[in-house]
Structure 1
Amino acid sequence: MYKLKALIQQKISLFIALYLGIILNLPIFYRRFHQVHYANTQALMVEMIAAFALVYFITTLVSLTGKTFYRILMSFVVVGSLAAGYYMIVFNVDIGYGILASALAFDSIDLSKESVGSHFFLWTLIGSLIPLIVLWGGKMPGSALRETTWQKLLFKGGLLLVSGLACLMPLKWMEHKQEAHDRLDNRMMASYGGVVAATYSPSNWLSALGLFAYSAYSQSEDTKNLFDPAKHFTYVPPKDVKDLYVVFVIGESARRDHMGLYGYARDNTPNLDKEKNLAALQGYSCDTATKLSLRCMFVRMGGTQDNPERTLKEMNVFSLLKKQGFSSDLYSMQSEAWFYNKTNADSYSLRETIGSEKRNTGKPVDDILLINEMKDSIANHPDGKHLIILHTKGSHYLYSERYPRSFARYQPECMGIDNSCSTQAMINSYDNSLLYTDYFLEQVLNQLRDKNAVVFYAADHGESVSKNMHFHGTPRDRAPIEQREVPIMVWASDKFLANDQNRQGFAQLQLMAKNKTPAYHEKLFDSILGCIGYSSPDGGVVDQHNWCHVQTTGSN
């Protein structure tokens, strides 16, 4: 009887391996076949064998836990693979840590659900139906760890060894072929096995899930354990800091190559085009997903580990300004509470709180609601030395929901999650969202024109936009350039520029903009401090990282 049940279980495992490893990945195999520029037929066969063998290895390993846990855990793998497969197949999304962290985090669930429509649920339900029936309908033995003899354990161990080698050895063979090919072309590519693991389901989302779990367990990022620059360096404030207003606008999914201000064919930045005190820099993001970029864009260079989860090592520039005596408020259309807590802002309000205010009753919850919050913040701090952080929704998908109908300049638009949209419709909607960003930023500047003020704007990452494709979060080592090229802008009021030192520093920004000098997220920490006039005699502001640094005679 045991042998019969064990045979049934092996058939179930083979079916699950075939279904998840081969059938579900067929469209991905097709894409990879056209991406590999050498030995693509061999690569296709190797990757199909590896994908099948990996799933079989997982099913065999899980079977050691007993039939109940086997069914539960494999049901989770099936449903997770179907869910990931929807975005991989329909939207060509590269599933990595950034995507998974954004999807699983409860404090950003409002944005995650906006990328999930009825088609997703139908796909997952229908696609999971047959494997779940097979899993729960077939008879199988109990736990091999409790009930089997050494011979049976050896049999399971043999299956694990064979399936593991069947997965690893072909990949190693192809990796040697790639290395030989790369030597001929004088180039260095990412690990072949690593790319394959990140390309197919379920290895891509399972490895990302493992990183997410590890990060949640071992990297609670207790502020007490983070390096605090305010405690290790001396910071000298500018003379006019007492009446200074600093505003940082965190953009979302904005690409500079789709903004008229940066030379885009469409004039979707008519307001910013007219700003004489604006420096539009050639920005590059430090990562490709909101959670990851928020970790690395406001700390000193090296303030996060260079790992997929961007483990935080240091306190950010906003907490430093708080310790320099700035009051601070933060208003957000997103819900990255973990980040907001680390700014040490005096108060912050999220979209739910802002939307529930009486004055906003009946209004759509979009970025323009942040303007009234900003007005109140300024009014409550009339003497200055005040920091305001605005976190926008910007150009997060669904683009057509990011702007009022009066800004639907470019037609046709992509109007629904489940719609089949052409590339042009997607781009039209995306460009309209940037048109609205232009309007929003103009309203921000209007609140500060008569004050001693500096406004910084930087998008967290870019966006890939084409037919039915509207995502970011590709692991940064292989992300397309449009997910890294972002707008970074600095605006200064006339009153701020009346100071000679400030004017000279701003001239350096304008020179960078004119020369199209790259501006990296990793240098925001030093540049925010340097551009508003802070200095440090012991290295707290690194001159080479400060975009506003004015070289004196004899300096390097």
Structure 2
Amino acid sequence: MVKPVTSTRLVMLFSLCLVVFYNLATWRALVDLAQLQGVKAIAFYVSFALLLWAAITLLLTPFSFRATLKPVLSLVALCSAAAAYFMNTYGISIDTTMMENVIETNPGEAQALLSGKLFLYLGLLGVLPIALIWWLPVSYRRVLPGLVNKVLVCVGCLLVIAAAVGPFYSTYAPIFRDEDKLTHFINPTNYLYAIGKLTKQTVAIKETLNIQTVGADAALSPQAQQRPKKSLMIFVVGETARADHFSLNGYGRETNPELKKQDILNFTHVASCGTSTAVSVPCMFSKFPRTDYSDKKGKTYEGLLDMLQRASLKVLWLDNNSDCKGTCLRVPHRDIPKNQPSPFCDGQNCLDESLLVGLQDYIDSLQDNAIIVLHSDGSHGPEYYDRYPKSLERFTPVCHTNQLGSCTSDELKNVYDNTILYTDHFLAQTIELLKRNQDKVDASMIYVSDHGESLGENGIYLHAAPYAIAPTAQTHVPMVMWFGHSTLEDAGVDRTCLAARQDQPDLSHDYMFHSVLGLLGVTSTEYQPALDLFHSCKRNKG
């Protein structure tokens, strides 16, 4: 017969397990930040262990009642096991943006993340502790003595925290001053805090049900109305492409063999608005610059596509990614059906060329100025090998698993570069489609990736790192433009002048909103000429 443990002791033991077994990423981050040596290092790490143990105990003690203790500990064990897996495997941290990505992940993306290693984590750090928690007999105090005990435990935890931090305050202060450096790794407080913050944001957004109008005065300028041909822009939203893997930007491998044969303009220094699709996509179509953008603003204000539609342009959003993150909700939009009869779809996934299937028929039906947004799957990880056809697997051997840490650096680079090679092919095919229509419309293509990707540098994989500390690989994105033979001329833009801006160092997603308005000739009080790439190159800047 196993002797019962008190509810307080069970919480303390469970908290100790969290500190020791679930926080490997936290300890790694702490070692990098503290950079201490000798006896002082040992003493500091002991103090941090006490701090972490006391803080988690303080967090869980209010739930140590008979009705809540075991369910709450079980849920924390399972969620913490999953969090530990993703932090240890991909080198990510967990913040509000990451939790938003988790919530918005579709079944296909979720399936791509499944692996034997994940189930091993869930088994050893999730199911096994849960089984022990429910097997272990627990003794509970009566209500009043139990409440007193919990208060005393909480007070004791606060005293332990103070005693742990006090002697090392000068070391802790700079570490915790920037929360991105450590607290987003602490398991389970990282995801619990993120869920709480996200819930608060969601409630605040729901309180503002009315979408704020942006550009109520949007209209085609008289000059645009007098152009000899209608305008047709294809705006390609790239996925997870990093600029330094484009040979157009000086990368040693030839990853852009088809685009380099096209008469394109390649902008070499473009920064993303965020490090995840959930942030960057709505942000680049928003009137708000990155420094002023927020999730709430993205969800409660109209965007670029609403303005273009109000100015009588035909708008269509085609999606081969998770979804448009709210950007296309008020304009015609559709997902590419994965089971469509197409050589580019296999019933589960579609290659990006599926976005072009049937597009000529749509173009033939257009009678007005139009913009078509193609939201591509691009280089979406971790299953990079599913993003391109075998015929374009030029760089080998490749990483053929979602366990990126088990692949060599060369295998990971090879498979990722194959996705860039296919993006190059897809964009060239898009340009060829527009070329076939440039005699009847002023055709243009703008391609820009939503964010970049980490490929194991410094132990970091994938993306969605907090922007303040994100590596350049996640924020430096490629941007390519192509124009039909009369497009810039009819828009009054000097191509030579525009070409001279290709290496401008301070370009970013902030330019997208205003540049599209400027090229298509849409006027509005929301329009800012300083953020329009084309404005300074217009012959008539009125």
Equivalent-residue separation in structure 1 for 2:280 and 2:168 (angstroms):
33
1:17 aligns with 2:15: yes
* 1:57 corresponds to: 58
Inter-partner Cα distance in structure 1 for 2:282 and 2:169: 33
| SS of match in other structure, 2:446 | strand
Please list, as runs of the form range in 1=range in 2, the aligned pairs for 1:69-468 lying within 5 A after superposition: 69-105=68-104, 108-141=106-139, 147-149=142-144, 151-167=145-161, 170=164, 176-177=170-171, 191-192=177-178, 195-220=181-206, 224-226=210-212, 228-231=213-216, 236=221, 238=224, 239-240=226-227, 243-302=230-289, 306=293, 312-336=299-323, 338-342=325-329, 344-346=330-332, 348-351=333-336, 353=337, 355-357=339-341, 362=346, 365-381=350-366, 383-397=367-381, 398-418=383-403, 420-449=406-435, 450=438, 451-466=441-456
What SS does structure 1 have at the residue aligned with 2:467?
coil
Distance 1:330 1:259 in 2: 26
Q: Deviations over 1:516-542 (max 9, x none)?
A: 422111221111111333344xx4211
Tell me the CA shift for residue 120 of structure 1: 0.6
Matched, 1:48 2:49: yes
Residue 325 of structure 1 and its aligned partner are, at CA, apart by 0.4
Q: Is the 8 A contact 1:332 1:370 kept in 2?
A: yes
- Do the aligned residues in 2 keep the contact of 1:247 with 1:389 (CA within 8 Å)? yes
Does structure 2 conserve the Cα–Cα contact (< 8 Å) formed by 1:33 and 1:43?
no
Identity, in percent, stands at 22
- AA of the residue aligned to 2:152: G
Distance 1:553 1:165 in 2: 70
Match of 1:34 among 27, 32, 38: 32
- 1-side partners of 2:290 and 2:211: how far apart? 13
Do the aligned partners of 2:355 and 2:374 also contact (CA within 8 Å) in 1?
yes
In 2, Cα distance between the equivalents of 1:233 and 1:554?
A: 20
Asked whether the equivalents of residues 102 and 291 of structure 1 are also in contact (C-alpha less than 8 Å), the reply is yes
For this pair of structures, how many residues does the alignment match?
Answer: 526
1:357-404 deviation digits (Å, cap 9, x = unpaired)? 4776757611111111432321232x3411111111100111111001
Indicate conservation of the 8 Å contact 1:251/1:392, yes or no. yes
CA distance in structure 2 between the partners assigned to 1:432 and 1:159 by the alignment: 56
Q: Secondary structure at the match of 2:321?
A: coil
String of CA shifts for 1:144-169, please: whole Å, max 9, x gaps.
Answer: 7xx511x4323211212332454477
2:240 maps to amino acid: S
The answer to which of 436-445 and 415-424 deviates more is 415-424
Q: Tell me, what secondary structure is at the counterpart of 2:92?
A: coil
Q: 1:280 to 1:384 in 2, by over 3 A?
A: farther
Q: Deviations over 1:416-457 (max 9, x none)?
A: 224720111111111110000000001111111223112111
CA distance in 1, matches of 2:35, 2:372: 50
Q: Could you tell me how far apart the structure 2 residues matched to 1:471 and 1:172 are? A: 37
Measured in 1, the distance between the counterparts of 2:430 and 2:530 equals: 30
Q: Tell me: CA distance 1:71–1:38, structure 2 relative to 1, closer, same or farther (3 Å).
A: same
- Deviation at 1:554? 13
Cα separation, 2, equivalents of 1:118 and 1:340: 36
Deviations 1:476-532 (A, max 9, x none): 122111111111222211120232613x2x44432221x342211122111111133
1:329: how far off?
A: 1.6
Q: Residues of 1 paired with 2:262 and 2:176: CA distance?
A: 43
Cα 1:303–1:170, aligned 2, differ >3 Å: closer, same or farther?
same
| Paired letter, 1:196 | L
C-alpha spacing 1:354/1:155, structure 2 compared with 1 (3 Å): closer
Per-residue deviation at 1:175? 5.8
CA distance in 1, matches of 2:509, 2:294: 17
- Distance in 2 of aligned mates of 1:260 and 1:546: 26
Which residue number corresponds to residue 519 of structure 1?
507
Look up the equivalent residue of 2:392 and give its one-letter code.
Answer: F
**Is the contact made by 1:296 and 1:304 (CA closer than 8 Å) also made in structure 2?**
no
How big is each residue's C-alpha offset from its partner over 1:166-207, in whole Å with a ceiling of 9 and x where there is no partner?
44775587564466xx7xxxxxx8715563321221111111
Of 463, 475, 481, the residue aligned with 2:466 is 475
CA contact (8 A) 1:530 1:548 kept: yes
1:531 equivalent in structure 2: 519
Residue pair 2:321, 2:377 contacting (<8 A) in 1 also = yes
Unaligned runs of 5+ in 2: none
Structure 2 Cα separation of the partners of residues 233 and 326 of structure 1: 11
Find the aligned partners of 2:412 and 2:287 in 1 and give their Cα distance: 36
Q: Which moved more, 1:371-380 or 1:117-126?
A: 371-380
TM value normalised by structure 1: 0.86
Q: 1:329 to 1:234 in 2, by over 3 A?
A: closer
In structure 2, give the amino acid aligned to 1:396.
H
Q: Extract unaligned runs of 5+ from structure 1.
A: 183-188
CA gap of 1:333–1:53, structure 2 versus 1, over 3 A, is same
Q: Do 1:269 and 1:435's aligned partners in 2 also have CA atoms closer than 8 Å?
A: yes
